[in-house]
């Protein structure tokens, strides 16, 4: 019995595969036109990679023993016929577990030892390397290989309090949030820091990434989980137990890590089977479940529609046994439907929109390229047709005229050189605003401000000031981009008028998106800089980690904006170069045909015939390009076959 989510995900993947086929057609068409190695080709390749590599990250977060692992098993892995992730009473999942599929890596489980926390290397950096991880391949001959290997995520070991403290897993200031010491004064810590499961499950193959997290203190102690992994998730699922209700520690996790989060957050009230009571009627039990669902929503401050009462265990067992009635009773289906209905259309729309934008640009470029070729051919045809019945003296004159025009054209170089120099200088200015060294200096300045502020009360203020400075840098870059654009626009006009170029300026990149990303980071991180965090902020380890995470996160924004600017600059340059080459080639072709015709009069008609043939071919290509783009756009914006729920999805009109 596959899950509703799996079914929907299949639809999504089919749609994506169909989109991929259309993109292949467009790519073949670009090869025909001879544009595959130009920016249009690069744009298409980037889009293709995005469509193929699109990931959907769903993170499960809660206090331990609420049933996260069990719920993941029931939704995603029931077809394995067994409990894949270990889910037993007590604390089982000791480290974050990420399930995904990467075909370029071997199937198996990769584990990063907890001792790596002692060095200053972030998880993101560890992901880039293979050494340091312990790789456990799955034994395919053993049907339970997966679940056997996964027991590793439960491993713990006992260490002294000093060691635990060095690992950042024990806090003298906060013993409640630290593991209990035994008589010998030793505490239990996880053996592993992070687990990556590379498994070709159909859903993971299609780009789903599932993140299972351990409970309380590991969450608080691992800034890279809370600052790195959770904010990048497309949806989070927070779980509370119907047997315990919302506890203080549930509330603490919700408040610290999820409550203020943007994007899709779901709440599950799990273990409703525990509420079944032989002395109560089914209607009474239902009423009690409903009352608890509403009170959970009230306590967490979310709309009741976002809270799903269910039993993960009952669902898993029912799916394994093929028991439809049990599955219905577990109420898992309603939750899966909500998950898929809000997540998948949103991804689909995002990809569809990217495709629409890119396809539009590619089509425009290709059409412009063909249009330019047609224009040059039309000029040539006109010239050649006018030669019918002309004397050889007249032909000589024409050859001279063409070479004269070609020479005149070459004078455009002076202007182009000046243009390039100004353009390059402006590019350097943008690069220096967004220099990585400056970024580190800015962050260090903020940390120094925090250190010197009384009782760290000014932490939030210092952080807000940092974000403001970063936004100002982006805004200065934006102003500069406008200047560059004005300068280019003016010079293009002159080149078009004086030298017959057909230069068109593409609008420069918009920094608004990056300014917003800085604001998002500000919202996400300032919750870790509140009054309650004064003690944490006093710890050099925490500030070192905070610094690293900030450098990493903001570098991504910096990379994005720099790439956007560089990409645009490259495009402008290559657009000019292409036109230069094509204009030059045009003169050459004209001179060649004239020379040929001067040698033998009968060459004239065959040359005219050749060009007419090329002309027809170009028009066909243009038509074919149009047809392929239209079918791609239809595919991209193809009517989404489900109701669009939950507000925050931006619905775009389907374009014909
Ligand atoms: N009765 C009942 N027990 C459940 C349910 N879901 C999970 N459990 C049990 O609760 C315990 C903790 O589950 P687990 O998935 O390991 O929790 P996690 O720490 O949040 O990952 C395990 O013994 C599960 O079998 C449920 O729906 N009903
Ligand atoms: Mg677990």
- 85 Cα to the center of ligand 2, angstroms: 7
- Residues counted in the chain: 656
What's the average model confidence in pLDDT over 9-29?
Answer: 87
CB 309 within 8 A of CB 266: no
The Cα 152–Cα 197 span in angstroms is 11
The phi and psi torsions of 611 (rounded to 5 degrees) equal -65, -40
What's the average model confidence in pLDDT over 202-206?
Answer: 79
Ligand nearest to the CA of 65: 1
Structure tokens at 418: 């000046």
Q: List Cβ<8 Å contacts ≥24 apart for 429-432.
A: 429/480, 430/477, 430/480, 430/481, 430/562, 430/565, 431/562, 431/565
The Cα 368–Cα 365 span in angstroms is 5
The phi and psi torsions of 383 (rounded to 5 degrees) equal -65, -45
| Whether residue 651 has pLDDT greater than 60 | no
Name which of 259-268, 308-317, 411-420 the model is least confident about. Answer: 259-268
What's the average model confidence in pLDDT over 466-470?
Answer: 95
* Average model confidence (pLDDT) across the chain: 83
- 613 Cα to the center of ligand 1, angstroms: 73
Mutate to test the pocket of ligand 1, among 59, 61, 65 (most ligand atoms within 8 A of CB): 65
- 607 three-class SS: helix
Of all residues in the chain, the percent with pLDDT exceeding 70 is 89
CA separation, residue 559 to residues 45, 236, 435, 567 (Å):
19, 26, 10, 12
Place of tokens 């010079």: 491
- 203 Cα to the center of ligand 2, angstroms: 20
E strands within 26-89?
Answer: 56-61
Mutate to test the pocket of ligand 1, among 62, 66, 67 (most ligand atoms within 8 A of CB): 67
Closest approach atom of ligand 1 to CA 215: 19
CB 30 within 8 A of CB 366: yes
What's the average model confidence in pLDDT over 306-310?
Answer: 96
- Whole-structure pTM over 0.85, yes or no? no
| Whether residue 187 has pLDDT greater than 70 | yes
Of all residues in the chain, the percent with pLDDT exceeding 90 is 24
The predicted-structure confidence for 385-422, as pLDDT tens digits, reads as follows 887 777 778 888 888 888 898 888 888 888 888 888 98
The predicted-structure confidence for 419-465, as pLDDT tens digits, reads as follows 889 899 888 988 899 998 999 999 999 988 888 876 656 888 889 99
CB 554 within 8 A of CB 470: yes
CB 429 within 8 A of CB 498: no
What's the average model confidence in pLDDT over 123-138?
Answer: 85
The predicted-structure confidence for 382-394, as pLDDT tens digits, reads as follows 888 887 777 778 8
What's the average model confidence in pLDDT over 202-231?
Answer: 70
- 196 three-class SS: strand
Residues in the ligand 1 pocket, defined by CB under 6 Å: 62, 64-70, 87-89, 92-93, 215, 270-271, 273-274, 311-314
What's the average model confidence in pLDDT over 160-164?
Answer: 84
Q: Output the pLDDT for position 181.
A: 74
The predicted-structure confidence for 595-646, as pLDDT tens digits, reads as follows 887 777 677 888 889 899 999 999 999 999 999 998 888 888 864 433 333 3
Closest approach atom of ligand 1 to CA 63: 20
CB 136 within 8 A of CB 152: yes
| Whether residue 532 has pLDDT greater than 80 | no
Q: Are strands 108-113 and 134-136 parallel, antiparallel or unpaired?
A: antiparallel
The predicted-structure confidence for 504-519, as pLDDT tens digits, reads as follows 888 899 999 899 889 8
Place of tokens 């939704």: 75
Q: Output the pLDDT for position 647.
A: 30
The predicted-structure confidence for 537-549, as pLDDT tens digits, reads as follows 777 777 787 888 8
The predicted-structure confidence for 480-504, as pLDDT tens digits, reads as follows 999 999 999 999 999 988 888 888 8
Residue 648 pLDDT class (50, 70, 90 cuts): very low
Dihedral angle over CA of 515, 516, 517, 522, nearest 10: 100
CB 243 within 8 A of CB 274: yes
Structure tokens at 44: 């298409």
Provide the 10 A C-beta neighbour count for residue 138: 20
What's the average model confidence in pLDDT over 293-302?
Answer: 93
| Whether residue 240 has pLDDT greater than 70 | yes
- 411 three-class SS: coil
Q: CB under 8 Å to 558, separation ≥6 — which residues?
A: 434, 436, 439
Name which of 18-22, 23-27, 342-346 the model is least confident about. Answer: 342-346
The Cα 335–Cα 538 span in angstroms is 42
Q: Where are the alpha helices (H) located in 128-227, listed in sequence order?
A: 145-150, 161-166, 202-205, 216-221, 223
The predicted-structure confidence for 31-84, as pLDDT tens digits, reads as follows 888 777 677 788 888 888 888 777 888 999 888 889 999 999 998 888 878 888
> What DSSP assignment string belongs to 520-580?
HHHHHHHTTSSGGGHHHHH-HHHHHHHHHHHHHHHHHHHHHHHHHHHHHHHHHHHHHHHHH
Top pLDDT among 635 and 221 is at 635
Highest average pLDDT, of 227-241, 546-560, 633-647, comes from 546-560
Q: Output the pLDDT for position 127.
A: 83
What's the average model confidence in pLDDT over 311-337?
Answer: 93
The Cα 591–Cα 601 span in angstroms is 15
Mutate to test the pocket of ligand 1, among 61, 96, 313 (most ligand atoms within 8 A of CB): 313
Highest average pLDDT, of 50-54, 330-334, 368-372, comes from 330-334
Ligand nearest to the CA of 243: 1
Q: Are strands 56-61 and 235-241 parallel, antiparallel or unpaired?
A: parallel
| Whether residue 268 has pLDDT greater than 90 | yes
């Amino acid at each position: 019995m596959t899950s509703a989510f799996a079914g929907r995900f299949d639809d999504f993947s089919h749609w994506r595969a169909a989109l991929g086929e259309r993109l292949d057609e467009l790519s073949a068409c670009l090869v025909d036109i001879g544009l595959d190695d130009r920016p249009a080709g690069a744009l298409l390749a980037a889009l293709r990679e995005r469509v193929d590599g699109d990931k959907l990250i769903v993170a499960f977060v809660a206090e331990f023993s609420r049933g996260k692992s069990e719920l993941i098993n029931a939704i995603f892995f029931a077809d394995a016929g067994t409990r894949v992730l270990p889910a037993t009473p007590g604390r089982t999942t000791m480290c974050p577990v990420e399930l995904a599929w990467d075909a370029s890596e071997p199937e198996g489980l990769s584990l990063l030892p907890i001792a790596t926390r002692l060095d200053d290397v972030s998880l993101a950096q560890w992901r880039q390397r293979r050494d340091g991880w312990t790789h456990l391949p799955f034994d395919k001959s053993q049907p339970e290989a997966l679940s056997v290997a996964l027991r590793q995520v439960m491993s713990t070991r006992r260490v002294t309090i000093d060691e635990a403290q060095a690992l950042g897993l024990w806090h003298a200031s906060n013993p409640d949030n630290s593991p209990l010491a035994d008589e010998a004064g030793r505490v239990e810590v996880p053996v592993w820091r992070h687990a990556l499961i590379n498994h070709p499950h159909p859903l993971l193959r299609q780009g789903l990434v599932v993140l299972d997290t351990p409970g309380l203190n590991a969450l608080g102690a691992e800034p890279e989980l809370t600052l790195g992994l959770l904010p990048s998730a497309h949806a989070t699922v927070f779980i509370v137990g119907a047997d315990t209700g919302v506890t203080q520690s549930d509330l603490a996790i919700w408040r610290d890590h999820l409550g203020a989060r943007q994007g899709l957050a779901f709440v599950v009230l799990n273990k409703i089977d525990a509420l079944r009571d032989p002395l109560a009627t089914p209607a009474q039990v239902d009423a009690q479940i409903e009352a608890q669902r509403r009170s959970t929503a009230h306590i967490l401050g979310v709309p009741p529609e976002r809270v799903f009462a269910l039993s993960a265990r009952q669902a898993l067992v029912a799916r394994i046994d093929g028991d439809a009635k049990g599955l219905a009773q577990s109420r898992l289906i309603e939750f899966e439907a909500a998950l898929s209905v809000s997540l998948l259309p949103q991804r689909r729309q995002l990809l569809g929109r990217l495709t629409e934008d890119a396809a539009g640009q590619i089509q425009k470029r290709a059409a412009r390229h063909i249009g330019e070729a047609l224009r040059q051919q039309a000029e040539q045809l006109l010239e050649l047709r006018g030669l019918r019945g002309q004397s050889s003296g007249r032909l000589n004159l024409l050859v001279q005229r063409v070479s004269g025009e070609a020479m005149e054209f070459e004078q455009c170089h002076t202007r182009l050189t000046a243009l390039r120099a100004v353009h390059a200088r402006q590019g350097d200015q943008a690069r220096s605003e967004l220099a990585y060294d400056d970024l580190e200096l800015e962050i260090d300045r903020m940390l120094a401000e925090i250190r010197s502020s009384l009782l760290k009360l000014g932490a939030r203020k210092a952080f807000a000031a940092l974000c403001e400075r970063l936004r100002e840098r982006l805004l200065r870059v934006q102003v500069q981009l406008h200047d560059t654009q004005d300068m280019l626009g003016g010079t293009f006009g002159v080149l078009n008028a004086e030298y017959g170029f057909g230069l068109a300026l593409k609008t420069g990149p918009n920094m608004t998106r990056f300014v917003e990303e800085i604001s998002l980071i500000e919202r996400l991180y300032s919750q870790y800089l509140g009054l309650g965090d004064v003690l944490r902020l006093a710890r050099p380890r925490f500030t070192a980690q905070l610094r690293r995470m900030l450098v990493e996160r903001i570098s991504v924004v910096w990379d994005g904006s720099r790439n956007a600017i560089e990409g645009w600059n490259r495009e402008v340059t290559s657009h000019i170069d292409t036109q230069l080459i094509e204009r030059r080639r045009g003169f050459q072709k004209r001179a060649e045909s004239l020379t040929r015709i001067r040698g033998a009069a009968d060459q004239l008609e065959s040359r005219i015939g050749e060009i007419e043939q090329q002309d027809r071919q170009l028009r066909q290509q243009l038509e074919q390009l149009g047809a392929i783009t239209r079918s791609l756009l239809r595919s991209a914006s193809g009517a989404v076959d489900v109701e669009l729920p939950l507000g925050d999805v931006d619905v775009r009109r389907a374009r014909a």
